[in-house]
Amino acid sequence: MWHLAIRNLWKRRVRSLLTILGVAVSVQIYLAMTTMMASAEADLQDQLKTLAGKVFIQRIMTAESMVEEFPSPSSSINMEVAGELLAIPGIDESMSSAILYVPLAKPPAPGSPPPTRALGITPGHELAFLGPLKIIAGESILQGPQSVILGQGAAAYYGEESGHGVEVGETINVLGESFTVVGLLDRAPAVHDGMVMMELATAQRLFKRPSSVSAVILSAENITEVPRIKTQVENLHPELVAAAQEDVEENVRAMYALVYDLADMVNGVAILVAFLFVMIVMIIAVMERRRDIGVLRAIGAKRATIFGMIASEALLLSIIGALLAGPLWALIRVFVEIGIVSAVDVILTKWLNIGLLALFTGLGASLLPAWRAVQVDPLEALRYE
């Protein structure tokens, strides 16, 4: 009965269009939320990849820093203690280092990370922090006390005035001092993306912390040694917090649990709105077409056929609406931030979500109105006055 469904929708095309738009907006909200959360999850996974085989040590100084991510700008470890930790047996010295981490700009919003941060690290031990991340231009090793390696976010921040990101060979000004950019990092997790990496001694001088660092990164020679190293740190210095990859992941997930819950709630509401849109319109349609339904039943249409007709209409509304959500979302993204190609990529990866959502919305929302339609008694519906 698809042909009847199409004709019925066309007869009330303004109402059909408004319903489709309603579904499209709801699905678009769902797409936006799931994409945002997927990006956040992907970012988290990328960050976690850099943590494999490592133990991260910092000192919790304030209540706020209990929930801050690593490295925490409010953490402070004495240089002697740092040296002690770096001497623990079983660590890969070249992949281990003390680091000093200081925000260079105010966060754009409360609770969000600062757009750029200074990271002081022992020269030659850059990979302790960079891990598997790629350098897209220049060097992966600092070239002297006035050299820096920038993340993409930091390069954009310092290139704001010129209108293009800072490139290798150019200079930037940090707290009144000039630094030459010797390397640029590829797109990376947030912690690395805003990074201005410099020599540890330079950072300690610049930020007036000659005898302390923010944290220590220890890389195990053998990944199976991570638990032993972590326990040893905790035994040596109970005042310090040592975290391995799984600890960091647990903390981050706990921190963002509320965000994930909120996103799930928004998604649930969006789906419910789409559902209600279609259901309300179909209930009205069944009420309006009581007589037509009675005629069909009188001439021999089975209840299942009537049910199928109503379900077909509901499915059409939700499928068209859901399909429209993709281009609608892409249009918004084009105007807001990214290029058309990236938007299309996300649409293509989300096609299964869109399809399932359309199916669920259409079929689910049609149940009540279709049930009401099959209850129509042909004699009552066709009763004359």
Partner 1 sequence: METIVSTKDVWKIFQMNGVSVEAVRGIDMAVEPGEFVAIVGPSGSGKSSLLHLLGAMDHPTKGDVFFGEQALSELNDGQRADLRLRRLGFVFQTFNLLPTLSAAGNVDVAMRLAGAGRSERKARVTELLERVGLGERANHLPRQLSGGEGQRIAIARALANKPSLLLADEPTGNLDTKTGAGVLELVRGLCDEDGQTVIMVTHDFRAASYADRVLLLRDGTIRGETRLEGEQDTRETLSRLLTAEL
Using CB under 8 A as the binding rule, whether residue 380 contacts partner 1 is answered as no
Look at the chain and count its residues.
Answer: 385
Using CB under 8 A as the binding rule, whether residue 297 contacts partner 1 is answered as yes
Using CB under 8 A as the binding rule, whether residue 372 contacts partner 1 is answered as no
Tell me the three state secondary structure of residue 224: helix
Given 248, 296, 319, 370, the residue binding partner 1 (CB under 8 A):
296
Closest CB 17 distance from partner 1, rounded Å: 17
Dihedral angle at the C-alpha atoms of 239, 81, 216, 205, nearest 10 degrees?
A: 120
Within 298-337, which residues bind partner 1 (CB under 8 A)? Answer: 298-305
The C-alpha atoms of residue 313 and residue 6 are separated, in whole angstroms, by: 7
Closest CB 285 distance from partner 1, rounded Å: 12
Angle, CA 115 vertex, CA 109 and CA 118 arms, to 5°: 130
Closest CB 292 distance from partner 1, rounded Å: 6
* Closer by beta carbon to partner 1, 4 or else 52: 4
**Residue 86 near residue 65 (C-beta atoms within 8 A):** no
Using CB under 8 A as the binding rule, whether residue 17 contacts partner 1 is answered as no
Among 64-72, 87-95, 214-222, 296-304, which window interacts with partner 1 (CB under 8 A)?
Answer: 296-304
Closest CB 246 distance from partner 1, rounded Å: 59
* Closer by beta carbon to partner 1, 356 or else 379: 379
Judged on CB neighbours under 10 Å (0-12, 13-18, 19+), 50 is middle
Side chain identity, residue 243? A
Among 61-69, 86-94, 222-230, 286-294, which window interacts with partner 1 (CB under 8 A)?
Answer: 286-294
* Closer by beta carbon to partner 1, 293 or else 322: 293
Token look-up 């007709």 returns: 309
Token look-up 């600092």 returns: 142
What is 54-108 written as a DSSP string?
EEEEEE--STGGGSSPSSPTT--EEHHHHHHHHT-TTB-GGG-EEEEEEE-S--S
Using CB under 8 A as the binding rule, whether residue 4 contacts partner 1 is answered as yes
How many residues sit in the footprint of partner 1 (CB under 8 A)? 25
Bridge pairing between strands 117-121 and 195-199: parallel
* Closer by beta carbon to partner 1, 294 or else 326: 294
Closest CB 300 distance from partner 1, rounded Å: 2
**Residue 181 near residue 167 (C-beta atoms within 8 A):** yes
Among 7-15, 22-30, 86-94, 240-248, which window interacts with partner 1 (CB under 8 A)?
Answer: 7-15
**In the complex, which residues of this chain contact partner 1 (CB under 8 A)?**
1, 3-4, 7-8, 10-11, 291-292, 294-305, 378-379, 382, 384
